Structure 1
């Protein structure tokens, strides 16, 4: 079962690591490995969400998502998007950016370093919004209850996450951007660059979130219509075209999944710039990670076991929050790549262990015949 589900991921991992060694030696292999782990750790929640929607789709649309969808996810978001970011930030064409990255690494490195404040501001704001929207939402299951309960109460204030994000952006522009290591330009120019890029990151998040909500609403409408058609068919005795109806609903599911996938891809792609500026290593590492996310999605659909580890989503979002803070700090200061790459793994591991402890406590409570009060207390987190 494991080999059947993760076979392609194992093959891509082997090829990717060999390519990394051939391209940049053992140091490149280490960076690709860190990028792969970061992408996987940040996308656990993505896999869980994907699995919850994918299991509603018929076999045909599941294959479409796992074939065409993987092409969009790997080649679109993990290969093309990093090039676009560099091209826009450095104000050059994408083909020129690729040629420069491959043929003149020193100049490319300098251009990316000069553009890093804008990249960090864009990515930091996008990731910060993902984190803030998560922690301000009131959830039945809480991992760090002492922190998440008061934050959920604060989250009832409209647009609080946007306001906090804008305050953080303003502070970053007036502090970190003042001393950003960038050739040429005044402090005011750098602050303006950080502000514009940060606002662009915020707008991107709001647009992606709006599209996701739109497709989610369309999906709900299609499901309601399908249910009404089924009820009508039962009364009239006329058969309803199940293939056509499931096709419509599945098509909107597919679109919704792709928008969700893109939104989750941003954090990995943007976060990768905090680890390396090499687009080849970035593409290899994120591509390997994307394959495992797809394989994990399939595994969840077929087995459904990871849904029991309820704190993994929390750990992933705390990792996103930490990565957002790191990116904003790197506008001025350099942070060791090992710290950046490993912090997500540590948080995911902690949330996984907490989930295991919770499951054991629930099993013990059930074995002793404990009531629902005890269970709810265990499920509320630390």
Structure 2
């Protein structure tokens, strides 16, 4: 199971590290290894949340996520995305931006750092919407009940999560972005940029999330309708090929879930891409190291789905969403103050670790209660 799920990740790791050592030397080997570990530590919560979405997709779309999705994650977010940032913010063409990354990596790093406020605002608001919709949703399983129960009541108010997110954006734009962190420790007023980028993050979440929910609901409705029709006349339904319509709807639903996962992965990767510049400004080493880490995040997501880990450890998904909320706030704070990437990585790992420990403890208590109940039942007999 381990080799089947992580086989590609192991293979890419070996090829990537060997290529780094052969073409750039042992220093590059160490840099790629460090970047891989950085990406895995920063994105572990990403894997847990991805698994919660991916388990609703069929085997075909899970394979799409692991193949085409990884190409988007590695080449799109880890290689093309930093170039696009420089191209847009500096007013350069894509080819000029690539030439700048290769010929003058120091200036390239300056431009990416100066674009950080808009990146952090977009990614922070997208992730904040994910956390708020989770925490305001009414659910049977609650981890921190004293927090989650009262907040679930507030979630009954239509648009409440959007209102809270926009309020947080206003605070960030008016109080934090007025002195945004820039390259070399300088500061500049980025209020307008942060406001526009943050609104864009909220809109993208609402658009992609709304489309995926719409098609998923359509899928459930069509499946229920087809089940009723098949119960009445299975032969007639098979002859008319009504099963095909369900497959088609499933495809559209899965496509938008896939799109949602890709945007989610992009938001998670912002801190990893920006943090990588603290280690190296060589674009290919950065893409190689972060790409290896992204492979493990994908494989870990598949592993969690196939093992049913989220069902076995009931609070794990809660911990991941709390880590998302923390990361969203840290991204907004980082607009003004430079934060060490170790902080974001360790905070997410600690929250997930606590939720895992709480899940194990709850499972043990349930097992003890069942055993005690069985003993009482046997004594009565």
Q: Same fold by TM-score, threshold 0.5 exceeded?
A: yes
Q: CA deviation at 1:218?
A: 3.4
Deviations 1:177-209 (A, max 9, x none): 2222348xxx99522122122212222222221
The correspondence for 2:320, drawn from 316, 320, 325, is: 316
Counterpart of 1:344 in structure 2 is 348
Distance 1:101 1:216 in 2: 42
Q: CA deviation at 1:265?
A: 0.9
Distance 1:126 1:281 in 2: 28
Q: 1:86 to 1:170 in 2, by over 3 A?
A: same
- Pair 1:202 & 2:195 matched: no
Q: CA deviation at 1:24?
A: 3.8
Counterpart of 2:105 in structure 1 is 105
| Partner SS, residue 142 of structure 1 | coil
Give the gaps of 5 or more residues in structure 2: 375-381
Counterpart of 1:46 in structure 2 is 50
Deviations 1:9-49 (A, max 9, x none): 22223334455664745345323311123223322121232
Q: 1:225 to 1:67 in 2, by over 3 A?
A: farther
Give the gaps of 5 or more residues in structure 1: 371-382
Distance 1:17 1:306 in 2: 32
Counterpart of 1:170 in structure 2 is 170
Distance 2:62 2:165 in 1: 37
TM-score, reference length from structure 1: 0.83
| Partner SS, residue 275 of structure 2 | coil
Q: CA deviation at 1:50?
A: 0.6
Q: 1:243 to 1:79 in 2, by over 3 A?
A: farther
Distance 2:121 2:300 in 1: 31
Q: Is the 8 A contact 2:47 2:298 kept in 1?
A: no
Q: CA deviation at 1:107?
A: 0.6
Q: 1:89 to 1:145 in 2, by over 3 A?
A: farther
Q: 1:331 to 1:301 in 2, by over 3 A?
A: closer
Counterpart of 2:367 in structure 1 is 363
Q: 1:344 to 1:114 in 2, by over 3 A?
A: same
Deviations 1:147-183 (A, max 9, x none): 1112112222222222222222222222222222348
Distance 1:242 1:236 in 2: 9
| Partner SS, residue 217 of structure 1 | helix
Distance 2:15 2:41 in 1: 16
Distance 2:61 2:332 in 1: 40
Q: CA deviation at 1:95?
A: 3.1
Counterpart of 1:144 in structure 2 is 144
Q: CA deviation at 1:106?
A: 0.8
Counterpart of 1:248 in structure 2 is 248
- Pair 1:304 & 2:321 matched: no
Counterpart of 2:269 in structure 1 is 269
Q: How do 1:78-89 and structure 2 match up within 5 A?
A: 78-89=78-89
Deviations 1:109-157 (A, max 9, x none): 1111221222222222112111111111121111111211121122222
| Partner SS, residue 55 of structure 2 | helix
| Partner SS, residue 369 of structure 1 | helix
User: 62-71 vs 99-108, which deviates more?
Assistant: 62-71
Q: Is the 8 A contact 1:40 1:292 kept in 2?
A: no
| Partner SS, residue 52 of structure 1 | coil
Q: 1:216 to 1:287 in 2, by over 3 A?
A: farther
Q: How do 1:30-41 and structure 2 match up within 5 A?
A: 30-41=34-45
Q: Is the 8 A contact 2:31 2:289 kept in 1?
A: no
Matched residue count: 364
- Pair 1:120 & 2:120 matched: yes
Distance 2:179 2:70 in 1: 41
Distance 1:310 1:97 in 2: 46
Counterpart of 1:376 in structure 2 is none
Q: Is the 8 A contact 1:309 1:355 kept in 2?
A: yes
Counterpart of 2:92 in structure 1 is 92
Q: 1:69 to 1:220 in 2, by over 3 A?
A: farther
Q: CA deviation at 1:358?
A: 1.3
Q: 1:323 to 1:63 in 2, by over 3 A?
A: closer
Deviations 1:327-348 (A, max 9, x none): 1111111111211222211211
